[in-house]
Amino acid sequence: MQSFVNQSARFQPADDSLAQMRVAYDALCRHFTPPLPDGVQLEDHVLSVDGRHIPLRLYRPATATPSAGWPCVLYLHGGGWILGGLDSHAFIAALLAQECAASVLVVDYRLAPEHVFPAAFDDCLAVWDWLSVDGLALGINPARVVVAGDSAGGNLAAALCLKARDRQGPALCGQALIYPALAAVPTEPAASEHADAPLLGRDDMAYYLAQYAPDPATHADPRLTPLAAANLQGMPPAFVAVAEYDPLRDDGVLYVRRLQASGVAAQCHLGRGLLHGCLRFWQQGPETARMVRALSAAITCMLADQTWHGQT
């Protein structure tokens, strides 16, 4: 992890402006993005809905599409709701397409502060609504979809599961969350124990939330803070990976415990010795590689409609 921190520190913004933060973040993402694996191809698409255009990127195996369509991972990227896009998480989207023998659809949702809550959520919901009806237009089987995301993307994925549960149509087959942000105030004791952790501290999370949801009146809305939901019954099976030295660690831990108490199959994978954002380091860090293997195995099981027995 020290090597990961040292490499990440090379990509500091030139000043404290949002524009420079995005330049630095994009450079960091490129540094940790390997070439597209052999046997994986990508396509860019745009979903037009309600007068706006949502860019999408589809990764899939470079083989014939199954007659029922590809099982699909709907991937929602992290970046504190203010950073990232189609390129920022290519490293994990391409890997999941390869390891899970599935299509992976990445959503370039609107970013804050230009577009505040619930804009990002609304974009993700619009993509799921379209995918659940017209997925075959992209060769995707709408009955075999797992939603996944890291950090802010994990937040959006959990929120999408709550909304999808209460709507008619195909159900999501599972949720795979990587160090998700699930509460307006990160859950204790990790929030205090790791308030000043490298790469993401408690003050960083407060800043990101203020950009995305500047109105405190929205902070109890489950679309923003899924842990605020009173009822988690009927949610799709869950795999939640958390990093030991992350102020968000206990958001994921508490979410899994509440899912299990509600009768939902859920597993919490603790990445020992890991930091927030470590997913990018999977090729160099053995413990992060173990997290990625667990993630891929869980998603593959959910997509294959096999019984998912979550455990902590």
Q: What residues act catalytically?
A: 151, 246, 276
**Please, are residues 158 and 182 in contact by the beta-carbon 8 Å criterion?**
yes
What percentage of the chain's residues is helix, strand, coil (to nearest 5)? 40, 20, 40
Q: How far is CA 171 from CA 12, 61, 145, in A?
A: 41, 24, 8
Of 288, 238, 301, the closest CA to residue 268 belongs to: 238
CB atoms within 10 A of CB 274: 25
* Cis omega (within 30 of 0) for bond into 142: no
Say which amino acid occupies 222. Answer: P
**Please, are residues 281 and 159 in contact by the beta-carbon 8 Å criterion?**
no
C-alpha span between 238 and 152 (Å, rounded) = 17
